Amino acid sequence: MQFKVGAKQTMKMLEQNRAIEVYVARDADPQMKEKVVHLCERAGVPFKWFDTKDVLGETCGIDIGAAMAALVPEEE
């Protein structure tokens, strides 16, 4: 599994039905959070909240904060 990090990448993965699970930082932009959570609910994709963008960035293995990320299968 791998992460697609960022709002645009996360929404793209949801629209392409490739997201297995989505991670959202509580301190991300409220409109973006609402939009991604709505897409998750519509697509039936589970989502998990993280307290901060920094914690989510660490979880994804990057040195900066991340507002959201999608867990996707490895690309072949």
Reported confidence tier of residue 76, pLDDT bands at 50, 70, 90? low
Angle between helices 30-43 and 7-15 (to 10 degrees): 20
In this predicted structure, the answer to whether residue 6 has a pLDDT above a threshold of 80 is yes
Per residue in 17-46, pLDDT (tens digit) is: 999 999 999 999 999 999 999 999 999 999
Rounded CA-CA distance 70/68 in Å is 7
pTM of this prediction?
0.91
In this predicted structure, the answer to whether residue 15 has a pLDDT above a threshold of 80 is yes
CB-CB contact of 11 with 71 (8 Å): no
